[in-house]
Amino acid sequence: MTHEEKALQAFQNGANCAQAVVLAYCSELGMDEKTACRLASSFGGGIGRLREVCGAVSGMMMVYGLLRGYDDLQDPEAKKAHYANVQALASRFREENGSIICRELLDLHKDENSDPNPTPRDAKFFHSRPCMGFVQCAARILDDALNAK
């Protein structure tokens, strides 16, 4: 199963958008699913349904950081290179989807639908929300970036 398929399956099984992307990479991360779910749990719905940065993008960045991030706090060049790669990932997602901001991707007005109550995952939700495509897109972009090096 591809990372795109794993992310989609996790989302369809109830994971938020960030969790879906992180869960798709558990084996590469050496991380159990419970830890992955907890790590990404705050980022669904554009960070706790605040509708800010798309959770799929946040999940993509978490995985990228865990696999390719810098850890030498005294190496500004590593930080600069990492940030350039992060910006490239975000730029590609934006190019393909029009934004990296949840409310813009969902065509919501500021503060609209930002209450903490999750939307029930029913047929209407899956039919009306483009989020499944976003988690697949994030996984595909991430795979491309990870396979390029």
Would you give per-residue pLDDT tens digits along the chain (149 residues)? 999 999 999 999 999 999 999 999 999 999 999 999 999 999 999 999 999 999 999 999 999 999 999 999 999 999 999 999 999 999 999 999 999 999 999 998 766 667 787 888 888 888 888 999 999 999 999 999 999 86
Q: Is the dihedral of CA 71, 92, 114, 63 positive or negative?
A: negative
What is the number of other CB atoms lying within 10 angstroms of the CB of residue 73?
Answer: 8
What is the number of other CB atoms lying within 10 angstroms of the CB of residue 74?
Answer: 6
Q: Does the pTM exceed 0.75?
A: yes
142 in Cβ contact with 94 (< 8 Å):
no
Residue 101 pairs with which residues in a beta bridge?
A: 53
